[in-house]
Structure 1
Amino acid sequence: MIRWTWGFLDRPADTFADCARFWAKITDSTLSAPRGEHDEFRTLLPATGPAWIKMQAVTGDGGIHLDLDVDDIPAAVATATGLGARVVAELPDYTVLESPAGQTFCLTPSAEQAGREPAPVTVTTAPDGTVTRLDQICLDVSPADSDADTTFWQALTQWTAGPSSRPEFSRLRGPDQPLHFLLQRLDDPRPAGAHADLASSNMTATAAWHETLGATRVTDAAKWIVMRDPGNALYCVTPRDPYTG
C-alpha cells in the first residue's frame, strides 16, 4: 500500500536556486533548510497541511521523479518488479526503479507519514485573487508503451482509474492524497518523462503571473497552457478546479 506520494522536481544545479524560489512562490510554500551531502534537497512546505513536493539539484537537464512511501520496501519492490518495473539502484533507505516505459520512481520508507491525517486542500492565491494548486503529475509515455505503463501504474498504486476528456489521457486518483497522476499517450516515440500540472481558476491570469516570476510561455491551447520554469523544465497550467481537481 502506498502511504504517501511525493513529486520530486529535479532541476539543474546551476539554476536550482532560481527554480526553488520560483516553485516556492507559485505554490505559496516555504523552502525547507537544505539537506543532503551537497545541500541538494529542499522541500516545499505549505502554509497548512502536509508537504507533497520536494526538489533536488541534479547534473544534466533534470525532470521529475516520484517517491512512493511504503511500509515494506522489499515487499513493494517485489510487487513492482512483478508488474514489470526494473530495479536501478538499491540503497540503505530506499530503492530506485523504472516503470516498464522508463519513468524513474523510488520506493521510500513510510515512517515520516505514519498516522498522517487525510490531506487538506492547500491552494495558492495570486495577487489578483486567482487560485491555483499543484495537484497532478502527468506521466508522458510513448504510444508503444502507453498501455503497459497505464496498466502498471494502476496495478501498483491501486488508485481509482478514470477517463479524461480526451482519449490520450487517463487519470489516477489516490485516497486522501493531494497529488494525483495523469497518464498521457504521446503522439510520437520518445523516452518516458513527466511534468507538473497546476489547476487554476483562471489559467491565462496564472500564466501571466508566472511570467512575471521568471517562467516562459510556450504554447496556448484550449485546455492548457504550456510553460517553462527558470530551469527550462516544462509544466502546464490547466482550467481544472483547484479545489476538486
Structure 2
Amino acid sequence: MIRWTWAFLDRPVDTFAACARFWATVTDSTVSAPRGDNDEFVTLLPASGPAWIKMQAVCDDGGIHLDLDVDDIPAAVATATGLGARVVAEPAAYTIMESPAGQTFCFTPAAEQARPHPAPVTVTTAPDGTVTRLDQICLDLAPADIDADTAFWQALTEWTPGPSSRPEYARLRGPDQPLHFLLQRLDDPRPAGAHADFAASNIAAAAAWHESLGATRVTDAEHWIVLRDPGNALYCVTARDPYTG
C-alpha cells in the first residue's frame, strides 16, 4: 500500500536555485535546508500541512520522478517487478525503479506518524486572489505504451480510475493522497515522461502570475495553459477545481 506520494522535481544544476524559488512561491512553500552529498536535495515546506514536493539538482535536463512511501520496500519491489517494472538501483534506504514504459519512480520508507489522514487540501492564493493547487502528475506516454503503463499504475497503486471527458486520458485517484495521476496518450512515439499540473480557479490569471515569477507561456488551450518553468520544464495550469480536482 502506498502511504504517501511525492512529486520529485529534477532540475538542472545551473538553474536549480531559480527553480526552487519559483516552485516554492507558486506552492506557498519555503525551501528546506539542502541535504545530500552535494547539497542536491531540498523539500518544499508548505505554510500548513505536510510536504508533498521535493527537488533535486541534476546534471542533465531534468524532469519529474515519483517517490512512493511504503511500509515494506522489498515487498513493494516484488509486486512492481511482477507487474513489469525494472529495478534500476538499490541504494541503502530506497529502491529506484522504472515502469514498463520507462517512467522513473522510487520506493521510499513510509513515515506513518508524519502523514495525517485524510490529507488536507493545500492551496495557494496568488496576490490577485486566484487559487491554485499542485495536485496532479501527468504521465506522458507514447501510443504503444499507454495501455501497459495504465494497467501497471492502476495495479501498483490500487487507486480508483476516474472519469475523463477525453479518450486520450485516464485518471487514477488515491485515498488520502496529496497527488493524483493523469495518464496521457501522446500522438507520437517518445520516451515516457511526466509533468506537473495545477488546478486553478482562473487559468489565465494563474498563468500570468507564474509568468511574472519567471515562467514562459508555451500554449493556450480552452481548459489549460502550458508553461515552462525557469529550468525549461513543461507544466500546466488547468481549469479544475483546486479544492476537489
TM bucket, shorter chain: over 0.9
Question: Which amino acid in the other structure matches residue 15 of structure 2?
Answer: T
Runs of at least 5 residues in structure 2 that lack an aligned partner in the other structure: none
Displacement of 1:117 in angstroms is: 2.9
Cα RMSD after superposing both structures: 0.9
Instruction: Decide whether aligned partners of structure 1 residues 167 and 130 sit closer, same or farther in structure 2, where only a CA change above 3 A counts.
Output: same
Displacement of 1:223 in angstroms is: 1.5
The normalised TM-score by structure 2 is 0.98
Instruction: Decide whether aligned partners of structure 1 residues 198 and 101 sit closer, same or farther in structure 2, where only a CA change above 3 A counts.
Output: same
Q: Report what 1:177 is aligned to.
A: 177
Displacement of 1:163 in angstroms is: 2.7
Question: Which amino acid in the other structure matches residue 130 of structure 1?
Answer: T
Any idea what the Cα deviations from partners look like across 1:26-66, whole Å, max 9, x if unmatched? 01001111111111111111111111010000011000000
Displacement of 1:112 in angstroms is: 5.8
Contact 1:3 1:113 in 2 (8 A): no
Any idea what the Cα deviations from partners look like across 1:152-183, whole Å, max 9, x if unmatched? 00000000112311110010001011111000
Q: Report what 1:214 is aligned to.
A: 214
Q: Report what 2:197 is aligned to.
A: 197
Is structure 2 residue 13 aligned with structure 1 residue 10?
A: no
Rounded Cα–Cα distance in structure 1 between residues aligned with 2:3 and 2:69: 5
Question: Which amino acid in the other structure matches residue 211 of structure 2?
Answer: E
Question: Which amino acid in the other structure matches residue 207 of structure 2?
Answer: A
Q: Report what 1:223 is aligned to.
A: 223
Any idea what the Cα deviations from partners look like across 1:79-136, whole Å, max 9, x if unmatched? 0000000000011100000000000000010036566332110100000000000000
Q: Report what 1:168 is aligned to.
A: 168
Any idea what the Cα deviations from partners look like across 1:182-201, whole Å, max 9, x if unmatched? 00010100000000000000
Instruction: Decide whether aligned partners of structure 1 residues 187 and 10 sit closer, same or farther in structure 2, where only a CA change above 3 A counts.
Output: same
Rounded Cα–Cα distance in structure 2 between residues aligned with 1:75 and 1:227: 38
Question: Which amino acid in the other structure matches residue 28 of structure 2?
Answer: D
Contact 2:50 2:115 in 1 (8 A): no
Question: Which amino acid in the other structure matches residue 116 of structure 1?
Answer: P
Displacement of 1:216 in angstroms is: 0.2
Contact 1:225 1:237 in 2 (8 A): yes
Q: Report what 2:238 is aligned to.
A: 238
Aligned residues: 245
Any idea what the Cα deviations from partners look like across 1:2-48, whole Å, max 9, x if unmatched? 00000000000000000000000001001111111111111111111
Contact 2:174 2:180 in 1 (8 A): yes
Is structure 2 residue 169 aligned with structure 1 residue 154?
A: no
Rounded Cα–Cα distance in structure 2 between residues aligned with 1:160 and 1:218: 32
Rounded Cα–Cα distance in structure 2 between residues aligned with 1:124 and 1:154: 29
Contact 2:171 2:181 in 1 (8 A): yes
Q: Report what 1:69 is aligned to.
A: 69
The normalised TM-score by structure 1 is 0.98
- Superposition pairs of residues 76-155 of structure 1, within 5 angstroms: 76-111=76-111, 116-155=116-155
- Percent same amino acid among aligned pairs? 84
Equivalent residue of 1:105, what SS? strand
Any idea what the Cα deviations from partners look like across 1:203-232, whole Å, max 9, x if unmatched? 000001111100000000012100000000
Equivalent residue of 2:144, what SS? helix
Equivalent residue of 2:235, what SS? strand
Instruction: Decide whether aligned partners of structure 1 residues 126 and 115 sit closer, same or farther in structure 2, where only a CA change above 3 A counts.
Output: closer
Equivalent residue of 1:155, what SS? helix
Runs of at least 5 residues in structure 1 that lack an aligned partner in the other structure: none
Contact 1:164 1:170 in 2 (8 A): yes
